[in-house]
Amino acid sequence: MRYERSSALFAQAKKVIPGGVNSPVRAFKAVGGTPIFIKEAKGAYLFDEDDHRYIDFISSWGPLILGHCYKPVVEAVQKQADKGTSYGIPTALESKIAELATSMAPNIDKIRFVNSGTEACMSAVRLARGYTSREKIIKFSGCYHGHSDAFLIQAGSGAVTFGSPNSPGVTQGTAKDTLLANYNDIDNVTQLFEANEGEIAGVIIEPVAGNMGCVPPEPGFLEGLRYLCDQNNTLLIFDEVMTGFRLAAGGAQQLLGVDADIVTFGKVIGGGLPVGAFAAREEIMDFLAPEGPVYQAGTLSGNPLAMAAGLAMLTALDNQPEVFDSLADKTAYLHEGMNNILSKSRIGYQINRLGSMISLHFTDTVVKDFTSAAKGNNKRFTKYFHGMLKRGVYLPPSAFESYFLNDTISYKDIDTTLQAFSETLKEL
């Protein structure tokens, strides 16, 4: 494939945007080459500026669960845009989507909308600290909760892609209040609680990790976290920015049967527009301003365009619960096909999957945490990524990211993807 237009646009962008991109993974530094620039998308497909078509396996990193340009979402945004794009004043839309979201997700009474997943996680930790009057938090190596200072410590995803899990600009004072644990290692978490008795405000985790590839929790791990938090009067925070309203109507809490104290959302809840949210039981949420002492604010929070898009998306998912089984079935079909092809090769591999999240790791080691995920053969992944790209399949341009299917991807599309997969593996 020729990428003349994308190459020219990238050269132009680098003159005015750091690295030529507004989010680092888009730069293709982990896989080399020139990033493609997208002109439009429809359903399961992306179309770049050089008029190539791709089957899309990132779905804007998760939110487009019903495909690109899903008509009810587009119409809702168009209708709202005719009435105004931003007011900085309350609207009825905010209450409508809040009522729907809290009815779909378990164990939450109230929700506060913000503008990104980063902002949601940052606010959730501040709320946990304010509610408990404690300062320390536990996070897990390889889990990414946005680029707030407290989280950029072995953060996974983009940070790990560049080999710099600790970002300059994060102060030692901030870092000392973030305790690092190993994902899927409850003994390690227990040790941290014992060493910091009475000091831990919250434990924040991706209940299904998506920033070291897809890494599901092992049986008993989340239940163990729930027990430790209960025993230590610590709040358990689920970062469901990826998993919320994607793995099930009630997200990972519902699918895995473990309740968190605070839940953060993003992606799907905005129907593709920039949005985030955090939610909890009433007694916790009432610690937020203007009712409580924990301050959090934002002019564009509850933006009517994002609320309209999110309401249309959640309404569709609430009315079509079968979509979650459909997505899981398609992802299982992809998994089976990839496994059948790889099993006939001499390539070491692991495939992780849960619901509509899946990832391929080029390693012989079971991938259950950041350390095992980092053992993958990144040179092989680079060849794999570009081999699939030239055959019209767009995958995450990083070995540390999950794929996200959307329900407009057909079984024919998956068969086409598996054919491309088979051809690509012969080149590795």
Q: Is 382 in a helix, a strand, or coil?
A: helix
CA atoms of 90 and 295, how far apart (whole Å): 18
With 0-12 / 13-18 / 19 or more C-beta atoms within 10 angstroms meaning exposed / middle / buried, residue 392 is middle
Give buried/exposed letters for 4-35 (b at 16+ CB in 10 A, else e): ebbbebbeebeeeeeebbeebbbbbbbbeebb
CA atoms of 147 and 168, how far apart (whole Å): 12
Backbone angles phi and psi of 358, in degrees to 5: -155, 150
Tokens 């102060």, residue? 171
DSSP β-bridge partners for residue 374: none
Which residue in the list 144, 183, 384, 394 is annotated as catalytic? 144
The question of whether 426 is a catalytic residue gets the answer no
Angle at 356 between CA 306 and CA 140, to 5 degrees: 80
Backbone angles phi and psi of 25, in degrees to 5: -60, -25
The question of whether 390 is a catalytic residue gets the answer no
Angle at 18 between CA 13 and CA 24, to 5 degrees: 100
Count of Cβ atoms closer than 10 Å to residue 195 Cβ: 10
Which residue in the list 48, 56, 239, 369 is annotated as catalytic? 239
Which residue in the list 136, 139, 267, 368 is annotated as catalytic? 267
The question of whether 45 is a catalytic residue gets the answer no
CB 118 within 8 A of CB 148: yes
The candidate with the shortest Cα–Cα distance to 83, out of 305, 310, 410, 382, is: 305
CA separation, residue 110 to residues 89, 173, 174 (Å):
19, 32, 29
CB 331 within 8 A of CB 355: yes
The packing angle between helices 322-342 and 411-425, to 10°, is 20
CA atoms of 84 and 77, how far apart (whole Å): 10
DSSP for 194-205? HHTTTTEEEEEE
The pairing of beta strand 200-205 with beta strand 235-239: parallel
Count of Cβ atoms closer than 10 Å to residue 318 Cβ: 14
Catalytic residues: 144, 239, 267
